[in-house]
Amino acid sequence: MICIVLALIFDFLNGFHDAANAIAAIVSTRVLKPHWAVLWAAFFNFIAFLFFGVHVATTIGVGLVDPQVITTHVILAALIGAIFWNLFTWYFGLPSSSSHALIGGLLGAAIAHANSIQPLKWAGILKVLSAIVLSPLMGLIIAMCFMLFSARLFFYSTPSRVETWFSKLQLISSAFISLGHGSNDAQKTMGIIAVLLYSAGMLDHQFYVPFWVVILCNFVIALGTCFGGWRIVKTMGMKITKLKPLSGFCSDTASAITLAGATMLGIPVSTTHTVTGAIIGVGSLNGFHAVRWGVAKNIVWAWILTIPAAGLVAGATFKLVNNF
């Protein structure tokens, strides 16, 4: 019960930490005021379970670590490692990945438990590692394509007309990215709770995700989004590049398409990485100096450090808890 509560705290922090992904563009372009933007995003976070399966939850639950080595101590340590890294990066306003913090925590705790890397499932881990590179790259490329196509299509329209149209379209693109975030990210907590129940013998000797876990995780991540991590909103929406309704729409739509594809394939990607890549993509079309590369460099360092840092904290936590 303590581990399930801790998993839900992580889920809440995931929504809190990653609220910027869904609302940064729509807030920075002043299409919606912040409090309306978070409510808009939270609603679509919650209903995301209606549109996608639980493929990502299955990958997290049984695709990365042998479920035979999963114990309550392993889950406890994994969650503490992920929560620590989430709070650390939130404090400094760095948009790191809650997903990879959880994966790093799970891997670190499992290695500490087995005193070896034997329980790790390398096929699943390689899928995650490849997604670290591919998801921001896909977001960047698709966003650039959308931006170029839109600029060509509306070349003869007045700037005020373009801004009016894309201000309305941003409501739709923001809803899509909230669906993608709610589907992919909430499923990571679902997978953790499901494998915890499975390891405790409470799932009839077969791994699956109970419906009450699906509803609860989507509700909690939506609740976290309502409280929004404003430090990261500023970094995502204002510090990387200057966004307008057109560029905000293109970056959101590109991110949503990438997330939806990854979710259907069962790949636990980072919403943060994907959105950041898309924002850099639309910003770079205005010239090299339109992107603040110093901020982007700090973000990339946070990405590189996320899995090993969360893993180290989780491994140390497991040793302490186990000895206690």
Task: State mean pLDDT over 89-111.
Answer: 83
**Which residue from 177, 137, 107, 132 is spatially nearest to 303, judged by alpha carbons?**
132
Segment 58-83, tens digit of pLDDT: 888 888 998 888 888 999 999 999 89
CA distance 116 to 98: 25
Phi and psi at 120, nearest 5°, equal: -75, 140
Q: Under a CB-based contact definition with an 8 Å cutoff, are residues 275 and 97 in contact?
A: no
Segment 270-291, tens digit of pLDDT: 777 788 788 888 887 776 665 6
Tokens of 295: 């901020």
CA distance 206 to 199: 10
Q: Under a CB-based contact definition with an 8 Å cutoff, are residues 82 and 310 in contact?
A: yes
Residues in the chain: 324
Tokens of 166: 């894309």
Q: Which amino acid is at 3?
A: C
Q: Which amino acid is at 241?
A: T
Task: State mean pLDDT over 6-35.
Answer: 78
CA distance 112 to 146: 45
DSSP assignments along 272-285, one per residue: HHHHHHHHHHHHHT
Return the H-helix or E-strand segment holding 78.
Answer: helix 72-91
Coil vs helix vs strand at 210: coil
pTM attached to this predicted model: 0.78
Segment 233-255, tens digit of pLDDT: 555 545 555 678 888 888 889 98
